[in-house]
Structure 1
């Protein structure tokens, strides 16, 4: 397989390789993602439904849509998209994640095309998608603009990319690194590098430079009292998500 060192950061890939087997353990190292997943899915499904005129009350509302889940990990987002009727390709640069995702999909009776590959490698094959899920990946690559430009080339005109990451400020250091890695021990120390975090304005600028039109952004806000996540129009101070479209 051809690799692309300009965007793949081998040290970042190695972190997630080491945790691959725990993807589907709701109390393991990926507990924060399991807690966040319902909120992520609410945002993702609503944005896709709006952009493509789909009715989420139907049995297979995403039928006919081809979705790429880049940085798919163990398949926490790929599987719900497949259940909604989409044709799903899950791609990850960490080889150890793929067999974990494949086995779980088989156990769940889902047909998902999981691949150990990169966005650039898929683009070189000339493949395109209606939707790209680009969740918690951009803060782990070596060159965010080059990575997002490769993703843009994978989108059909009129396609949608949903991108989430972590803001860069004092609060995000306290919450995402000190809180999650040191205090709560939800993640191994060193999972995140604060210097690679990206502000919402920076991400909008990167998306625009890649050729996409950013159309929405919201925050994922954690309530430590209710122990739940929710979407916010105003609070993008730590975790946040964006939607961008490719011009027709």
Structure 2
């Protein structure tokens, strides 16, 4: 790991240990399976608006490139490929990249999976995603700067992360990790980032925030998009 790398070795090892059942909706990554449809709903809306796509179009990313940073075993990268994008996925854990490659092959999807951090990727992409990643990196501000370098002119950046609130700590760590819904040690509350701090980081590297939307949890709806950002939130941005 170089001094400029976003990778934290213990984080890579932690997520690597979850590789075997990553695609099991009842396994260690069960919460990601519940979260993924919410993220995809948001992504599709932002893609349609940012790139002025027909919302009924099956492959709105046809002819565009996408980079999924911290891609895990491909829960987001595969849908992006089905939306038409030429997808590159990068993750620090070699174990999950191996699973990602195998699963994509089974699905007949061509995705360029790589082991490493965003700093190891060259070129620029029309869409850059980093979902539930920034709270696990070595230096968040440097990580955001690295994401900006990978964003092509006219491109779209979408991120998600837990908010730093008592509510997110209760649901994400005390309850979810405490009850075994998420593997213990997955989250460090001190690494959670409030929306205003992330927006400031994005502005510092020359990106303009287009939208901020919360992800809330409710007894009837489960995880869903909301104006309530106390638990988790998504941010979309472009070059200012």
- Answer whether TM exceeds 0.5 for this pair: yes
Of 192, 197, 201, the residue aligned with 1:197 is 192
Q: Counterpart of 2:37 in 1: which secondary structure?
A: helix
Aligned length: 240
Normalised to the residue count of structure 2, the TM-score between the two structures is 0.96
Mapping of residues 133-148 of structure 1, within 5 Å: 133-148=129-144
Residues 74, 39 of structure 1: CA spacing in aligned structure 2 closer, same or farther, 3 A cutoff? same
Query: 2:3 & 2:162 partners in 1: Cα distance?
Result: 24
CA contact (8 A) 1:4 1:120 kept: no
Q: CA deviation at 1:118?
A: 1.3
Query: 1:82 & 1:74 partners in 2: Cα distance?
Result: 14
Name the counterpart of 2:92. 93
CA contact (8 A) 2:92 2:116 kept: yes
Query: 2:168 & 2:125 partners in 1: Cα distance?
Result: 32
Name the counterpart of 1:168. 164
Structure 2 segments unaligned to the other structure (5+ residues): none
Q: CA deviation at 1:209?
A: 1.1
Query: 1:65 & 1:4 partners in 2: Cα distance?
Result: 32
Q: CA deviation at 1:113?
A: 0.6
Mapping of residues 48-59 of structure 1, within 5 Å: 48-59=47-58
- Structure 1 stretches of 4+ moved >6 Å: none
Q: Counterpart of 1:204 in 2: which secondary structure?
A: helix
Structure 1 segments unaligned to the other structure (5+ residues): none
Q: Counterpart of 1:188 in 2: which secondary structure?
A: coil
Query: 2:4 & 2:28 partners in 1: Cα distance?
Result: 27
Does the alignment pair 1:216 with 2:211? yes
Query: 1:109 & 1:56 partners in 2: Cα distance?
Result: 25
CA RMSD between the two structures: 1.3
Does the alignment pair 1:155 with 2:151? yes
Residues 186, 41 of structure 1: CA spacing in aligned structure 2 closer, same or farther, 3 A cutoff? same
Does the alignment pair 1:231 with 2:230? no
Q: Counterpart of 1:96 in 2: which secondary structure?
A: helix
Normalised to the residue count of structure 1, the TM-score between the two structures is 0.93
What's the CA shift string for 1:215-238, capped at 9, x where partnerless? 210111112x236221112x1001
